[in-house]
Structure 1
Amino acid sequence: MLGNNKYKISVITAAYNAESCIQNLIESLRAQKDKDFEWVVVDGASTDRTLEILKSITDLNIKIISEPDFGIYDALNKGIKACSGEYYLVAGADDVFYENAIQDYKSGIGHSVDIITGIVHKNGHLVHVRKGGAWLFDQCAYITCHSLGALIKRNLHFEYGFYSRKFPIAADQLFIMQCCENGAKTIQLDSVVGEFGTSGVSSEDVIGTCTEKFRVQLLLGKNKWIQFILFVLKILKRLLLLK
């Protein structure tokens, strides 16, 4: 076990020099209908006003860790170990929760599930779980989005380990797929829980993201020739879009 649970839900944010966007996330947490949650922010030793903004918060159950890290998943691992929730949600500093998010996620916990996924707004459209196998849609065959869109039982990390530092972009894909392909129970909510920010590494480094997703699929034993063909097609598509 990873510790005693004080809250049902912890929100974990990995932040670095996020003063330009984190206020929107803060206001969305303040606006939650259900305020019984904690917010753990793991700051990578920001040099802007991020820490000043966070330390001024007095109306949220906030825990702040500020020290250098090895990237987002190293920061998330620190947050998971430090949080007290039975379940946790990842939220990027540029993400925004809708006011129903915590309340709706809690309603799903009653079904004794391991992972609960909610519908997320991203790039102007709604993201749902993809219908098809994980060999084609990777973790999107199980969850809508790792950030905002997946309430994860914390003790899954005791069974499957923490986010791998070998995959600085797609460690979430590896962890979610390992859990789900080994029997973790998932459900999807009918509600829209928030709006995904698009300034993260996975949104900016599309070639790197495709490459890591390909490596994860091979590591998990998916048909290597099908994965190679899919990888080449994705890279060609990205290159054409860049023209």
Structure 2
Amino acid sequence: MQPKLSVITIVYNNVKDIERTMLSVLNQTYQNIEYIIIDGASKDGTVEKIYNYKSRLAQFISEPDKGIYDAMNKGLALATGDYVLFMNSGDEIYAPETVTEVFQSAASADIYYGETEMFDQDWISLGQRRHHAPEHFDWQSFRYGMSISHQAIYVRRSLAEPFDLKYKYSSDIDWIIKAAKHASSIVNTHIYVAKYLVGGISKKKHLASLKERFHIFTKYYGLIPNLINHIFIGINLAQYFIRHRRTND
């Protein structure tokens, strides 16, 4: 029997991108998908766009919230699937066959993950994320940076705790690490599973996001190891930009 997947999309005033995200979910060849949309009381036509597909949604809520992770928690509370996937407005499931391929990659894993392709505001591909998905992933894999985006990870719902609202920009990192700590089987699908629209809230509030990440990594990995790891993060980042600059010269 096919496991049931709850796909949760949160959105606020994004009429430009919401339909593209919705169609990437609704056009999946995989049959057992429960689609939940949480809107933060949009005023720009987003709600009207969503209503065009309301009959195909399992749940749709439009009301004010206390931020991105409060909205995600609302979606999580409504989810009834065996697995949950967060596909925020502007992002896409990679291809119509993606969910089918994810679940075909292995039976009954606690977590499935894959690669992410980045896109700019004009939906032009920027290529693979700088952090490639690791060959093997566990709760310690984030110590050198967030190597899997949350759009590219399918988590067994029984392992999916609510997002910690004390983090405003990086609670998804904390959430993934917690789930991975309790997972007994984590599967690399070895495929692209998500398209990611760059420039989300963590980019707009980049410094605050980095501070939160540092606190989260310290909580799980310890202060001294985290400081040492950040030296390697800095070196890797510098090498990446040097290579990238040479490529563009």
**TM-score, normalised by the number of residues in structure 1:** 0.81
- CA distance, structure 2, for counterparts of residue 113 and residue 204 of structure 1: 34
Select the residue among 58, 63, 84 that pairs with 2:59. Answer: 63
1:19 partnered with 2:15: yes
- CA distance, structure 2, for counterparts of residue 83 and residue 101 of structure 1: 20
- CA distance, structure 2, for counterparts of residue 69 and residue 59 of structure 1: 24
Post-superposition Cα deviations, 1:15-43, rounded to whole Å, max 9, x if no partner, equal 10010111111222233222431210111
- CA distance, structure 1, for counterparts of residue 169 and residue 21 of structure 2: 22
Q: Could you tell me which residue of structure 1 aligns to residue 143 of structure 2?
A: 136
- CA distance, structure 2, for counterparts of residue 229 and residue 207 of structure 1: 20
SS at match of 1:85: coil
Q: Could you tell me which residue of structure 2 aligns to residue 227 of structure 1?
A: 226
1:126 partnered with 2:133: no
Answer whether contact 1:13 1:40 (CA < 8 A) is retained: yes
Unaligned runs of 5+ in 2: 120-125, 242-249
SS at match of 1:166: coil
Answer whether contact 1:32 1:100 (CA < 8 A) is retained: yes
Shift in CA distance, 207/57, structure 1 to aligned 2, threshold 3 Å: same
Answer whether contact 1:32 1:99 (CA < 8 A) is retained: yes
- CA distance, structure 1, for counterparts of residue 183 and residue 10 of structure 2: 28
Q: Could you tell me which residue of structure 1 aligns to residue 45 of structure 2?
A: 49
Q: 1:54 Cα shift?
A: 0.8
Query: Residue 96 of structure 2 aligns to which amino acid in structure 1?
Result: E
Select the residue among 103, 106, 130 that pairs with 2:103. Answer: 106
- CA distance, structure 2, for counterparts of residue 10 and residue 135 of structure 1: 25
Unaligned runs of 5+ in 1: 1-5
Answer whether contact 2:155 2:179 (CA < 8 A) is retained: no
- CA distance, structure 1, for counterparts of residue 34 and residue 9 of structure 2: 11
Q: 1:181 Cα shift?
A: 3.0
Bigger CA drift: 99-108 or 189-198? 99-108
- CA distance, structure 2, for counterparts of residue 199 and residue 23 of structure 1: 18
Answer whether contact 1:7 1:38 (CA < 8 A) is retained: no
Q: Could you tell me which residue of structure 1 aligns to residue 207 of structure 2?
A: 207
1:145 partnered with 2:112: no
Shift in CA distance, 40/135, structure 1 to aligned 2, threshold 3 Å: closer
Shift in CA distance, 81/172, structure 1 to aligned 2, threshold 3 Å: same
Q: 1:8 Cα shift?
A: 0.6
Q: 1:209 Cα shift?
A: 1.9
Post-superposition Cα deviations, 1:212-235, rounded to whole Å, max 9, x if no partner, equal 110101122x2413423655875x
Query: Residue 114 of structure 1 aligns to which amino acid in structure 2?
Result: D
Q: Could you tell me which residue of structure 2 aligns to residue 3 of structure 1?
A: none
- CA distance, structure 2, for counterparts of residue 29 and residue 179 of structure 1: 23
Query: Residue 134 of structure 1 aligns to which amino acid in structure 2?
Result: S
- CA distance, structure 2, for counterparts of residue 14 and residue 230 of structure 1: 32
Answer whether contact 1:11 1:38 (CA < 8 A) is retained: yes
Shift in CA distance, 179/94, structure 1 to aligned 2, threshold 3 Å: same
**TM-score, normalised by the number of residues in structure 2:** 0.79
RMSD: 2.6
Give the length in aligned residue pairs. Answer: 223
1:170 partnered with 2:186: no
Q: 1:182 Cα shift?
A: 4.1
